[in-house]
Amino acid sequence: MPDEAAAHYFAIIDQLIEGHQWLEKNLGGVKPRSGWAIDPFGHSPTMAYLLKRAGFSHMLIQRVHYAVKKHFALHKTLEFFWRQNWDLGSGTDIFCHMMPFYSYDIPHTCGPDPKICCQFDFKRFPGGRFGCPWGVPPETITHQNVQNRAEMLLDQYRKKSKLFRTKVVLAPLGDDFRYCERTEWDHQFKNYQMLFDYMNSQPNLNVKIQFGTLSDYFDAVDKEDTESRENSQLLFPVVSGDFFTYADRDDHYWSGYFTSRPFYKRLDRILESHIRAAEILYHFALKQAQKYDIGAFLSSSHYTALTEARRNLGLFQHHDAITGTAKDWVVVDYGIRLFHSLLSLKKIIGHAALLLILKDKRSYDLFSSDTLLD
């Protein structure tokens, strides 16, 4: 999840390209359709535009000023088509879901009462590393308590549904540093599956509930939206503009990160320019090396270094990296990655430029990398 305030659009596009190429290579052409941005500190329409241009059809956001969330919830406009200010048509529209509550963890995703929702985070059993701050821990779901617990959870789902215009409710199950252990997978899945089985077996509850992906949720919403359009009803409004500056409680504005750790923000921009310069020079030099069969031009290692630099740049767009909100030792690690990539790019630029300016291309073999850098 990149930051959407301090990050440059070049770096975000580069991150999207690198990520899509990784998916193409490693997962056989999987193409994401839904954006997931639960932790950037505010949200930019530019990000919505870039996702739309990258082939995304839907997106989800979370960190929006609490008063804005309250207003949207009151008017049932937490789901909308996000359109660019300059768009006189609807070509830039992307469907956006704004999460309604304080956070993205389980206590704040099942409904409006975190004391109840926390009881359905089965990582927080008594004796574990995490507990429920509201003082009531979760219980293992059994045949004896499943009815009571299912009705309690369903009540929260129904209350949450009152904030939206469709009959489909999204309740994410996760948090930071989760699903790292097999036991949590088992606890979450087995307990929720018992709850789901009970709800689905009771026709009087009038509910159908299942596990699903974000795209599964949006597909269900799209289906209901299509049916409404066939009846000449428009379910969702159109919204233009940004969601800055973020505040999660009274007057707690998250604006310091716009300027914090300026050295690293500057290093980010320097790396961006070097990546673009290295890519261009590498391309032309590679063509010359292939034409004149110059084996000394280390095209493979240069390509690897370029890829690593792009990935390090993409990593630094993280909402706790370029923002300057990471812990000191993490910031140092980011800095080392950026600096090493910068050195690698300078070497690529130098080697490529040398090959391009040489009148006799085959004389490139006479130059060593050490001589060139000196």
Active site residues: 39
Pairing relationship of beta strands 34-37 and 238-239 according to DSSP bridges: unpaired
Query: Number of C-alpha atoms within 13 angstroms, CB side, residue 353?
Result: 10
- The dihedrals phi and psi of 94, each to the nearest 5 degrees, come to -135, 135
Q: What angle do CA 95, 98, 101 make, to 5 degrees?
A: 165
Crossing angle (nearest 10°) for helices 262-291 and 9-26: 50
Beta bridge partners, 82, equal 94, 239
How far is the C-alpha of 179 from the C-alpha of 173, rounded, in Å?
A: 10
Other C-beta atoms lying within 10 Å of the C-beta of residue 26: 8
Of the candidates 331, 159, 364, the one whose C-alpha atom is nearest the C-alpha of residue 261 is 331
How far is the C-alpha of 34 from the C-alpha of 154, rounded, in Å?
A: 26
How far is the C-alpha of 365 from the C-alpha of 374, rounded, in Å?
A: 17
Cβ contact 3:44 at 8 Å:
no
Residue 374 amino acid letter: D
Paired tokens of 190: 């087995």
Cβ contact 282:352 at 8 Å:
yes
E strand residue ranges, 150-218: none
Residue 32 amino acid letter: P
Spatial CB neighbours of 276, under 8 Å, sequence gap ≥ 6: 10
Spatial CB neighbours of 113, under 8 Å, sequence gap ≥ 6: 156, 159
How far is the C-alpha of 9 from the C-alpha of 15, rounded, in Å?
A: 10
Cβ contact 65:247 at 8 Å:
yes
Of the candidates 65, 78, 113, the one whose C-alpha atom is nearest the C-alpha of residue 249 is 65
